[in-house]
Structure 1
């Protein structure tokens, strides 16, 4: 199959379509006919499904060619936002137990016995070992910062 005949099938994802196109380009390169990224992109734009045509119009206004990875990411985002990949998911397949929301509350107790607070000699919110002002104020002890006094 040549790039001129490349067309995205109805149930084919963007990833499958681009992978197929890339394999054709690799074969062409191996045969001594490499393809520039701009030419590759034009073949991709022409072969995409009709729901990508508005996006293709805006991509054609760019002066610099889009890399394969960037093009893939943009097309995947478009596919996702327009729900093409979500049609395969079915909410009705979920079991009743899995569809019920579950909350897990976990409360961690500190050595002082009060949840969320620590004793003054420990790091954390209640102690002086974390960020911010320490026991003596400022960033360090009395002999740190501007030299020794």
Structure 2
């Protein structure tokens, strides 16, 4: 994703494009590991020493409210961020705590259709998150 793409993404959320917003969005969007705010801060602070952890937190919350990124709490209660907005599932490695995206259109369609046909009384489903827990069978040495 180049600077113009990032600028368009931030602007599409109704936000003013700033350098700080650019580097924070870039850090989130260029990793597939679903980073924490602290991780994002560590990535951007070396080249942006005036940025604070508080700014990173506020900016990430602003992005979530503008629907530019999404946030979720992992199984350890840690807040994580994801730049992928379309429906997808997550693979959670219980040994390493790594979270990866898992895209399977057939699975997403099946779940969506199930809940369209099987409404839950007095409850409106807005979003469905599937987390598959296990471990990576291929160990990297």
Q: Which has the higher contact order (CA 8 A, sep 6+)?
A: 2
More strand by share: 2
For the criterion TM > 0.5, the same-fold answer is no
Structure possessing the higher radius of gyration over alpha carbons? 1
> With structure 1 as the length reference, what TM-score do the two structures score?
0.28
TM-score if structure 2 supplies the norm length?
Answer: 0.29
